[in-house]
Amino acid sequence: MAQAEIGLIGLGVMGANLSLNIAEKGNTIAVFNRTAARTHEFYEEAGALKDQIVPCETIEEFVAAIRPPRPIIIMIKAGDAVDEQMKLLEPYLSKGDIMIDAGNANFRDTMRRFDALKDSGLTFIGMGVSGGEEGARHGPSIMVGGTEESYRRVEKVLTSIAAKYDGTPCCAWLGENGAGHFVKTIHNGIEYADMQMIAEIYGILRDGLGLSAGEISDVFGAWNKGRLNSYLIEITEKVLAAADPISGSPIVDMILDKAGQKGTGKWSVIEAQNMGVPATAIEAAVAARSISSAKAEREAAEAVLGLPKVAPLAVADKAAFIKDLENALLAAKIGAYAQGFAVMSAASKEFDWSLPMPEIAKIWRAGCIIRSQFLDEITTAFTKAPDAANLIVTPAFAALVSETDGALRRTVSAAVLAGLPVPALASALGYFDSYRRARGTANIIQAQRDFFGAHGFDRIDGADSHHGPWGSGLNA
Ligand code: NAP
């Protein structure tokens, strides 16, 4: 067999599916896995695609099977494993070869790895891949960071395997070094917020309205035909409709309410805080997962405090209330996306990336977990207003916020009065309310800071007097 045009290390869930996708698009691919038995198993299960796959037992054999200059995708457990794998691989590589880390790396690790290889003649690409197992197999969204020249060398194969939205591949070069992994991190942060907001609306339907899982599934099914149409709403309809094969009950009613997390949500929040950009909806979502995981503590707290002593949710017109929930979810979602894009905009300046906002929205329209029709609207909004300070002040989204924020306000109010937790929905509302208010309340904070710490303040009239008349209360 001729030499492969690309190689892949790591035949776990993502690597195996990505390899099959690459082979299916007519590329010959060499594959290697730390545990060789997995390589054999993968090859045996590859069916008709075997002809396009070169299974390798050793790194030496693997590198020799790829035509130089070699693009090599590393799709293994994120963290130290990637450094170890790169170290094992490096002695066999030659000038011009490209190592592509396609796992969920922290973008700061990606920047470090990129810099470490800069003068070695080898090139490093940090590539965010979204879409889970199904996306990897049939078309993920691909976010690439590295030199533009190195991207051009792998563009053909990457665009061939990426998801397509109206024929356009959901794959793009986003900037140097850590740009791709940063954008993937924020994608995941937004995904956390999207999922949490859906969970809060589910909570209102279940605990406020007393609907069954099947009834709630129908609500999400109807919403999926409207403006909320998206992969996450679609799967929510499906998971709510599924029955547990053991008990026969809806499976969601049998699943423990403890959510896991692997770090990308937390990284989004940390980076947002580092840059001083509010990402309150993502923060609320990450915190909600942490509270969810403290199940035993919550059980103990409920035993001590009980549930809030409030009147149950009173709904006069159920259909109108459910319509409000739909609009509330849309409004809150706009808040979360606005925050995510604002974080990326700040990072673009901080790390000198020139992140292309319309392009990012474009490559998220298909293949990834947050894919939706809504992202097409974001693409249009940022294309028409590329310098907008925030998504919510673009004409299209300002109109959408005006149309739906009343529903979000009524929903949050009703939930709070009924004692139902809606931290992410409420944070989006608080974000709108503070972002749109020209005269806020930080004048009192500045006065306090000046009082106890002589920190000074700016005046609204521009006069040259920057300390208050606090007298002896002024402590340095
Ligand atoms: P997985 O199924 O758990 O597979 C892990 C792979 O990593 C295996 O091939 C394993 O090899 C290899 N590995 C682990 N430690 C290694 C080491 N020290 N040296 C060399 N190889 C090592 O993982 P996955 O779900 O495919 O995820 C792979 C990457 O993609 C992760 O960074 C993950 O965060 C990211 N990701 C996952 C998803 C998803 O939906 N699953 C989506 C996007 C991105 P052995 O067979 O020898 O153990």
Pairwise CA distance, residues 36 & 375, whole Å? 41
Q: Provide the CB-side half-sphere exposure for 88 (13 A, CA).
A: 15
pLDDT digits (tens, 9 = 90+) for 182-206: 999 999 999 999 999 999 999 999 9
* Nearest atom of ligand 1 to the alpha carbon of 103: 32
Is 42:33 a contact under the CB 8 Å cutoff?
yes
- The first and second tokens of residue 104, run together, are 């969920």
3-state secondary structure at position 55 = strand
- The mean pLDDT of the chain is 96
Task: Decide if pLDDT at 475 tops 60.
Answer: no
Residues 6+ apart with CB under 8 A from 327: 403, 404, 406, 407, 408
Cis preceding linkage at 245, omega within 30: no
Q: What average pLDDT does range 241-245 have in this prediction?
A: 98
Residue for token pair 């937004």: 190
Residue type, 392: I
Q: Which residues line ligand 1 (CB under 6 A)?
A: 10-15, 33-35, 38, 75-78, 81, 84-85, 103-104, 129-130, 132-133
Residues 6+ apart with CB under 8 A from 4: 27, 28, 29, 30, 54, 65, 66, 67
Pocket mutation for ligand 1, best pick of 8, 9, 13 (most atoms within 8 Å of C-beta):
13
Ramachandran assignment for 457, one of left (phi > 0), alpha (psi -120 to 50 degrees), beta (any other): beta
Q: Are 343 and 184 in contact (CB under 8 A)?
A: no
| Domain 6-177 part of CATH 3.40.50.720 | yes
For the stretch 63-76, pLDDT in tens is 999 999 999 999 99
Q: Whose structure tokens read 């209360």?
A: 473
Predicted TM-score (pTM) of this structure: 0.96
Q: Are strands 53-56 and 29-32 parallel, antiparallel or unpaired?
A: parallel
* 173 DSSP β-pair partners: 144
Q: Are 22 and 157 in contact (CB under 8 A)?
A: yes
Q: HSE-up of 321 (CA within 13 Å, CB side)?
A: 16
What mean pLDDT is predicted for residues 86-97? Answer: 96
Helices (H), 59-178: 59-64, 80-89, 107-117, 132-138, 148-161
Tokens of residue 165, six digits: 């939205």
Residues paired with residue 280 on neighbouring β-strands, in sequence order: none
Q: Which atom of ligand 1 is nearest to the CA of 102?
A: 30
Reported as a single tens digit per residue, the pLDDT across 23-40 is 999 999 999 999 999 999
DSSP letters, 12-23, are SHHHHHHHHHHH
For 351-409, the pLDDT digits (tens) are: 999 999 999 999 999 999 999 999 999 999 999 998 899 999 999 999 999 999 999 99
- Topology (CATH level 3) of domain 185-435: N-(1-d-carboxylethyl)-l-norvaline Dehydrogenase; domain 2 (1.10.1040)
Upper half-sphere CA count for residue 427 (Cβ side, 13 Å): 25
Number of H helices, E strands in the chain: 20, 10
Tokens linked to 244: 């547990």
447 CB-near residues (< 8 Å, 6+ apart): 457, 468
Give the sign of the dihedral formed by CA 452, CA 454, CA 457, CA 462.
Answer: positive
Which residue of 76, 84, 101 sits with most ligand 1 atoms within 8 Å of its CB, as the best mutation to test the pocket? 76
Give the mutation target among 14, 32, 129, 138 for probing the ligand 1 site: most ligand atoms within 8 A of CB.
14
Residue nearest to atom 11 of ligand 1 (CA): 34
pLDDT value for 2: 79
- Give pLDDT, residue 472: 60
CA–centroid distance, 82 to ligand 1, in Å, is: 10
Considering 191, 200, 283, 377, which one is annotated as catalytic? Answer: 191
CATH number of 443-473: 1.20.5
Nearest CA to ligand 1 atom 35: 103
Q: Which atom of ligand 1 is nearest to the CA of 14?
A: 26
Assess contact for 419 and 308: CB atoms under 8 A: yes
pLDDT reported for residue 437: 97
Which residue puts its alpha carbon closest to atom 14 of ligand 1?
77
The percent of residues above 90 in pLDDT, for the chain, comes to 97
- Chain segment 118-136, per-residue pLDDT in tens: 999 999 999 999 999 999 9
Q: Say what the pLDDT of residue 387 is.
A: 85
- Residue 1 banded pLDDT, cuts 50, 70, 90: low
- Using the mean position of ligand 1's atoms as its centre, give its distance from the Cα of residue 272 in Å: 27
Whose alpha carbon is nearest atom 22 of ligand 1? Answer: 76
Could you say which of 184, 266, 333, 362 is catalytic?
A: 184
Class of residue 460 by CB neighbours under 10 A (exposed 0-12, middle 13-18, buried 19+)? exposed
pLDDT digits (tens, 9 = 90+) for 425-445: 999 999 999 999 999 999 999
Domain assignments of the chain as residue spans, ordered by start: 6-177, 185-435, 443-473
- Whole-angstrom distance, CA of residue 344 vs CA of residue 399: 23
242 Cα to the center of ligand 1, angstroms: 28
Distance CA(367)–CA(171), nearest Å, equals 10
Does residue 191 have an active-site annotation?
yes
**Separation of 12 CA from ligand 1 center, angstroms?**
5
pLDDT category at 103 given cuts 50, 70, 90 is very high
Q: What is the pLDDT of residue 356?
A: 95
Q: What's the pLDDT at 448?
A: 98
CA distance 49 to 62: 18
Average pLDDT over residues 89-115: 97
Backbone angles phi, psi at 395, to 5 degrees: -50, -45
Residue located nearest, by CA, to atom 4 of ligand 1: 12
pLDDT tens digit sequence for 147-165:
999 999 999 999 999 999 9
pLDDT of 476:
45
Rounded distance between C-alpha atoms, residue 415 and residue 413, angstroms: 5
Contacts of residue 177, defined as CB under 8 A and 6 or more positions apart, other chains included, come to 110, 111, 114, 115, 126, 145, 146, 351
